[in-house]
């Protein structure tokens, strides 16, 4: 086996995405308080988020506060949310794993508005813990996963065989189908409290291994490379 290259997703893989949401809600709350004299917005956003209204949080929160829907206002709130400097931290298990002496190269492939994702990477201190970060949005929304461009870019950079590449992520709807098709190993991090907890739509979208925290990752990798979890079988390795 040649050099192993570990490629990580960001949101809900290395930290909890809900922590970014909470940080963003506080930033929007502060903006509304300062510019419109409206207080308590963050609590309404948290309630809407917890109720599963992930794509309509601000609409629901404004309605709950009796504020008339205003597209321009919502657009501004979204801009504040996406543009704020987040207060977030690596999940404890991810931090311990990434701060160990490095035995392999590491990269990140992440979707989402590029400026927002860059702010997350900076807030989490990941620049010193990985060798390469690919923000798929820097190429355009159409290149978000499951588009192959990011994985092709990793392959060119890594210069190792697909069997030595591992994608470690959380969302079976979009994360694993493309690297699996390209012959990579895949590991799903089923972190408690993650936002996307829906099942894979079919076998092709499943990860080859499933863990709940990074303390289990080395064993999962050893099993995968030994052929213990055939690609796509969704085996659970604890």
Residues 100 and 72 in one domain: no
Beta strands in the chain (DSSP E): 5-8, 105-110, 132-135, 165-169, 185-189, 209-211, 235-236
Q: What is the pLDDT of residue 1?
A: 54
**Burial level of 47, CB count in 10 A (0-12/13-18/19+)?**
middle
Q: Scan for tokens 């978000």, then name that residue.
A: 144
Residues 122 and 210 in one domain: yes
pTM of the model: 0.92
Residues 138 and 197 in one domain: yes
Domain count within the chain? 2
Residue ending a domain, choose from 35, 56, 83: 83
Residues 105 and 45 in one domain: no
Please identify every stretch of the chain with a pLDDT value under 50, giving residue numbers as ranges.
Answer: 228-238
Q: Quote the mean pLDDT of the chain.
A: 93
Residues 153 and 53 in one domain: no
- Residue 235 to residue 233: CA distance in whole angstroms: 5
**φ/ψ (deg, to 5) at 102:** -75, 130
Residues 148 and 172 in one domain: yes
Q: What is the pLDDT of residue 221?
A: 95
pLDDT digits (tens, 9 = 90+) for 198-238: 889 999 999 999 999 999 999 999 999 888 444 443 343 32
Q: Residue 126 is part of a domain; what is its CATH number?
A: 3.40.50.1000
Residues in the chain: 238
DSSP-assigned beta bridge partners for residue 15: 11
Residue ending a domain, choose from 83, 104, 124: 83
Alpha-helical regions (H) of 65-176: 71-83, 92-98, 114-123, 149-158
Q: What is the pLDDT of residue 238?
A: 29
- Residue 139 to residue 230: CA distance in whole angstroms: 33
DSSP-assigned beta bridge partners for residue 169: 188
Range of the domain at 36: 18-83
Distances from the Cα of 208 to the Cα of 152, 180, 211, 225, angstroms: 20, 9, 10, 11
Rg of the chain, C-alpha, whole Å: 19
Looking at beta carbons, which pairs linking 192-197 to residues 24 or more positions away fall under 8 Å? Answer: 193/16, 193/18, 194/12, 194/16, 194/17, 194/170, 195/11, 195/12, 195/17, 195/18, 195/54, 196/12, 196/170, 196/171
Q: What is the pLDDT of residue 232?
A: 40
Distance, CA of 64 to chain centre: 29
Residue ending a domain, choose from 59, 83, 107: 83
């Amino acid at each position: 086996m040649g050099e192993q290259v570990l490629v990580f997703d960001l949101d809900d893989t290395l930290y909890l995405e809900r922590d970014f949401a909470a940080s963003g809600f506080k930033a929007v709350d502060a903006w509304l308080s300062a510019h419109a004299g409206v207080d308590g917005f963050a609590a309404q956003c948290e309630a809407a988020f917890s109720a599963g209204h992930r794509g309509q949080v601000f609409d629901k929160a404004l309605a709950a506060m009796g504020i008339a829907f205003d597209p321009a206002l919502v657009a501004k709130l979204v801009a504040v949310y996406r543009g704020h400097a987040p207060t977030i931290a690596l999940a404890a298990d991810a931090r311990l794993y990434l701060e160990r002496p490095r035995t392999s190269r590491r990269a990140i492939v992440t979707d989402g508005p590029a400026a927002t994702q860059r702010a997350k990477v900076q807030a989490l201190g990941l620049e010193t813990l990985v060798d390469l970060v690919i923000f798929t949005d820097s190429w355009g929304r159409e290149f978000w996963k499951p588009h192959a461009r990011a994985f092709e870019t990793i392959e060119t950079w890594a210069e190792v065989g697909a069997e030595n590449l591992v994608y470690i992520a959380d969302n079976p709807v979009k994360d694993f189908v493309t690297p699996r098709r390209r012959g990579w190993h895949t590991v799903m991090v089923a972190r408690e409290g993650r936002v996307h907890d829906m099942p894979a739509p079919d076998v092709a979208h499943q990860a080859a291994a499933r863990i709940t925290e990074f303390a289990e990752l080395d064993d999962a990798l050893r099993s995968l490379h030994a052929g213990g979890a055939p690609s796509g079988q969704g085996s659970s390795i604890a």
